[in-house]
Amino acid sequence: MRGDRLESRNEPLWKPVPSDRSFQSDDGRFGLTIGRSELKKILRYSLAAGRLETGGILVGHYSQHHDVAFVGDVSGPPRDSKSGVTWFHRGIQGLQTWLNGLWSKDSYYLGEWHFHPGGRPAASGIDLRQIKEISEAPAYLCPEPLLIIVGGTMPASWEVAAYVSPRNCSLVELKQMDGSRTEVGRSAPIRPGSKVSSLPARTEKQKTGP
C-alpha cells in the first residue's frame, strides 16, 4: 500500500525495532499485551517530545478471564498537558469525548503511559503514588490501572517496562514474556473502567532525575 511505503520511508531507525510485547506478573494474575503499532505510537510521541517528558492514556479491553489487558490504542499528551525534563502533568482535554466514543466498542481506560527522556523505564516514587491514586479514585472506575514507561534516547536506544497497581496493593512489575501465554483464570475479575464523568488529571513531578 502507498501509505505503508510512505510510513516506512519516514520511519525513524528505532533500536530495538518495535515488536508486539507481552508482559505478565510472576504469579500469572496480571498480563498486558501491546501491539507493535501501539508501541510505535508511544515511541513517536516520545521522540516528538525531545528532552521533555510526555505521556497519555492506554485504552483497550480485557481477556475473557479478565487476566490480560490488550492495549488497543493510546493517546498522546492532551493539549492541556504540561511537562518538564523530569516531570509530566497529563491534561484531560479531549480525553473524555474520546473515551465516551470507545465505550460503545467495548474499549476502556486501562491506564497511563509516559516517557523518561534519557532515563530508565523504572517507576519513580511519584509514578508509584500517582498510579495508586488512580486505582483508588472513584472517577476512574479502574481498580487495577496499568502503567507503561518508556525510557532512553529516541529513536536510537529505548526500553519499555510495564506495571500494574492493584487497589490496596503495592506496584507490581510485569515481566516481559517471549511468545504467547496461556490464560490463567482469576476469581476476582477486573472491572472495566473508563465510563467516567470527569477524568481527573495526573501529575508527575520529580525532584531528581527521571
User: Measured between alpha carbons, how far is 71 from 101 in angstroms, rounded to an integer?
Assistant: 16
* Between 128 and 177, CB nearer to Zn ion: 128
For residue 116, the cross-strand partners are: 151
Q: Read off the C-alpha cell for 101.
A: 466514543
By Cβ distance, which residue is nearest to Zn ion? 127
Cell 492541556 sits on residue:
80
Identify residues 49-108 at the interface with Zn ion (CB under 5 A). Answer: none
* Between 67 and 127, CB nearer to Zn ion: 127
User: Measured between alpha carbons, how far is 148 from 131 in angstroms, rounded to an integer?
Assistant: 11
The radius of gyration computed from the CA coordinates of the chain, to the nearest angstrom, equals 16
Asked if 127 is part of the footprint of Zn ion (rule: CB under 5 A), the reply reads: yes
> Residue 144's CB: how many other CB atoms inside 10 A?
24
Stretch that binds Zn ion, among 18-26, 117-125, 161-169, 187-195 (CB under 5 A): 117-125
Stretch that binds Zn ion, among 3-11, 33-41, 104-112, 122-130 (CB under 5 A): 122-130
Are the CB atoms for 38 and 73 separated by under 8 Å?
yes
* Between 55 and 166, CB nearer to Zn ion: 55
Closest distance to Zn ion from the beta carbon of 130 (Å):
9
SS3 54: coil
Query: Is residue 7 annotated as a catalytic residue, yes or no?
Result: no
Stretch that binds Zn ion, among 21-29, 97-105, 120-128, 166-174 (CB under 5 A): 120-128
Asked if 112 is part of the footprint of Zn ion (rule: CB under 5 A), the reply reads: no
Of 38, 53, 112, 204, catalytic: 53
Identify residues 142-161 at the interface with Zn ion (CB under 5 A). Answer: none
User: Measured between alpha carbons, how far is 120 from 101 in angstroms, rounded to an integer?
Assistant: 34
Are the CB atoms for 16 and 49 separated by under 8 Å?
no
Active site residues: 53
Where on the chain is the footprint of Zn ion (CB under 5 A)? 124, 127
